[in-house]
């Protein structure tokens, strides 16, 4: 390794004692490793104790026990404690493959203002059934970004997907990790933008491989999506000269949670589920009334699907329409109105059949409800969120 810069690996960690051995051991087997700095961000699960015990057998492992302040300050503390000329930042669920440290070091022989981004796909097939869908979606999003890295070198920094990146330590001193406007969600992306503005060049090397042990339940992934959206709005405000519509949308198909509804006209984006459920219900009702034979069964199933969607939308509306202190009142009013309609509508359906003698006329009130749903959808005004 003569002539290569010394590489300090820095990784923040928070309450991931169960995954530390899998993360630490491959790095300590790397011959090009100068030191591994673990910045423990206020963990209470025994992480510090395990790392300190492990460090007694390998002096290259350095442990920082920090108060809980978030990943950015933890990374910055680790960078400041590092002594190598190059800092390799890894997330604590990104498992190094052999040669990762030496591969990053080769790119930094001249210690230029350069960020090197490695490749870190996740393997959704290793997860048990029931947890694979989110991980598969995540991998597809990541691969779209990788494809754009290959054809658009500027996007390496302006669309940075962190977790496996390195720079000379002096460049980290210029662009600090603890002075970002965005604390979570798109913090890596903002760091990349700041590096781009500082004149640092980005390089993507897919041979610098690591395995991302991504595993997120659906409810947590939904929260992640909301945080990502909020941070994108903030980043547009902080970096309007760089964050354009093209950057926010990323590569076609990338990060689907960012792109839902963006191809629709702006006034339609918030209400398209209501319009879709109304139109689908109306079409299914028409099919039940007019189509023969087994088609009626299919249309009934379709109607049930869209009716379930309408119920979900109804349950979700109160917190979207009203400020927090009024949600219970709006919920009570909506339940009163909706259940009253559920009782009254069948009465009108039966009355229509009795008066006309036509079976299909019983579905006219249901169709009218679908039309009313579509007509009222454009009047929805969601409450502003702080």
pLDDT for the residue numbered 382? 73
The Cα 119–Cα 200 span in angstroms is: 19
Residue 122, beta-bridge partner list: 212
pLDDT for the residue numbered 164? 98
Contacts of 362 (CB under 8 A, 6+ apart): 349, 350, 352, 353
The Cα 186–Cα 254 span in angstroms is: 14
Cα→Cα distances 354→8, 362, 369, Å: 82, 9, 20
Chain centroid to CA 152: 22
Mind listing the pLDDT tens digit of every residue in the chain (386 residues)?
A: 457 899 999 999 999 999 999 999 999 999 999 999 999 999 999 999 999 999 999 999 999 999 999 889 999 999 999 999 999 999 999 999 999 999 999 999 999 999 999 999 999 999 998 889 899 989 999 999 999 999 999 999 999 999 999 999 999 999 998 877 777 778 899 999 999 999 999 999 999 999 999 998 888 888 888 888 888 888 888 888 887 654 444 444 444 444 444 445 555 666 788 888 999 999 999 998 888 888 999 999 999 999 999 888 888 888 888 888 888 898 999 889 888 988 999 999 999 999 999 888 898 998 999 899 889 888 887 766 54
Structure pTM?
A: 0.66
The Cα 30–Cα 229 span in angstroms is: 38
Contact 193, 239 (CB under 8 A): yes
The Cα 58–Cα 26 span in angstroms is: 13
pLDDT for the residue numbered 87? 98
In three-state secondary structure terms, 61 is strand
Cα→Cα distances 301→81, 275, 287, 368, Å: 62, 19, 11, 19
Tokens standing for residue 365? 């009130």
The Cα 173–Cα 80 span in angstroms is: 8
The Cα 11–Cα 28 span in angstroms is: 13
Would strands 86-90 and 7-13 be described as parallel, antiparallel, or unpaired?
A: parallel
Residues 248, 253, 254, 255: is their CA dihedral positive or negative? Answer: positive
DSSP letter string, 93-135 = TEEEPTTHHHHHHHHTTT--SEEEEEE--B-GGGSPTTSHHHH
Residue 205 parent element (H or E): strand 201-212
The Cα 169–Cα 73 span in angstroms is: 16
Q: Which residue has the tokens 């990374």?
A: 75
Of residues 79, 112, 272, 90, the one with CA closest to residue 179: 79
pLDDT for the residue numbered 261? 46
Q: At what angle do helices 364-376 and 272-290 cross, to 10 degrees?
A: 160
Neighbours of 75 (CB within 10 A): 26
Tokens standing for residue 305? 């699907």
The Cα 195–Cα 191 span in angstroms is: 6
């Amino acid at each position: 390794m003569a002539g290569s810069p010394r590489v300090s690996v820095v990784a923040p960690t928070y309450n991931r004692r169960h995954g530390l051995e899998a993360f630490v051991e491959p790095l300590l087997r790397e011959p090009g490793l100068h030191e591994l700095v673990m910045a423990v961000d206020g963990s209470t699960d025994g992480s510090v104790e395990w790392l300190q015990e492990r460090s007694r057998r390998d002096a290259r492992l350095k442990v920082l026990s920090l108060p809980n302040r978030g990943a950015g300050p933890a990374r910055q503390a680790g960078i400041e404690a590092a002594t190598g000329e190059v800092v390799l930042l890894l997330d604590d669920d990104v498992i190094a493959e052999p040669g990762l440290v030496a591969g990053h070091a080769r790119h930094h022989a001249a210690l230029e203002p350069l960020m090197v981004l490695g490749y870190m796909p996740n393997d959704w097939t290793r997860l048990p059934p029931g947890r694979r869908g989110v991980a598969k979606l995540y991998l597809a999003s990541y691969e779209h970004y990788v494809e754009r890295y290959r054809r658009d070198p500027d996007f390496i920094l302006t669309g940075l997907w962190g977790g496996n990146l390195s720079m000379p330590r002096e460049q980290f001193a210029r662009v600090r990790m603890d002075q970002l406007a965005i604390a979570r969600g798109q913090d890596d992306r903002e760091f990349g933008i700041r590096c781009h503005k500082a004149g640092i060049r980005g390089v993507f090397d897919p041979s610098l491989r690591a395995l991302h042990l991504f595993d997120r339940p659906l409810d947590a992934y939904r929260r992640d999506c909301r945080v990502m959206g909020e941070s994108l709005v903030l980043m547009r405000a902080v970096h309007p000269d760089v964050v354009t519509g093209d950057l926010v949308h990323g590569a076609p198909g990338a990060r689907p949670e960012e792109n839902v509804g963006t191809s629709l006209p702006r006034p339609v984006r918030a209400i398209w589920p209501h319009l879709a459920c109304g139109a689908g219900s109306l079409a299914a009702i028409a099919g039940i009334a007019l189509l023969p034979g087994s088609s009626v069964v299919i249309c009934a199933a379709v109607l049930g699907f869209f009716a379930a969607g309408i119920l979900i939308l109804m349950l979700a509306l109160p917190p979207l329409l009203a400020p927090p202190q009024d949600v219970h009142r709006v919920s009570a009013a909506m339940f009163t109105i909706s259940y009253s309609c559920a009782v009254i509508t069948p009465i009108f359906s039966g009355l229509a059949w009795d008066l006309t003698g036509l079976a299909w006329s019983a579905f006219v009130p249901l169709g009218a409800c679908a039309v009313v749903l579509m007509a009222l959808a454009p009047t929805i005004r969601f409450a502003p969120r702080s």
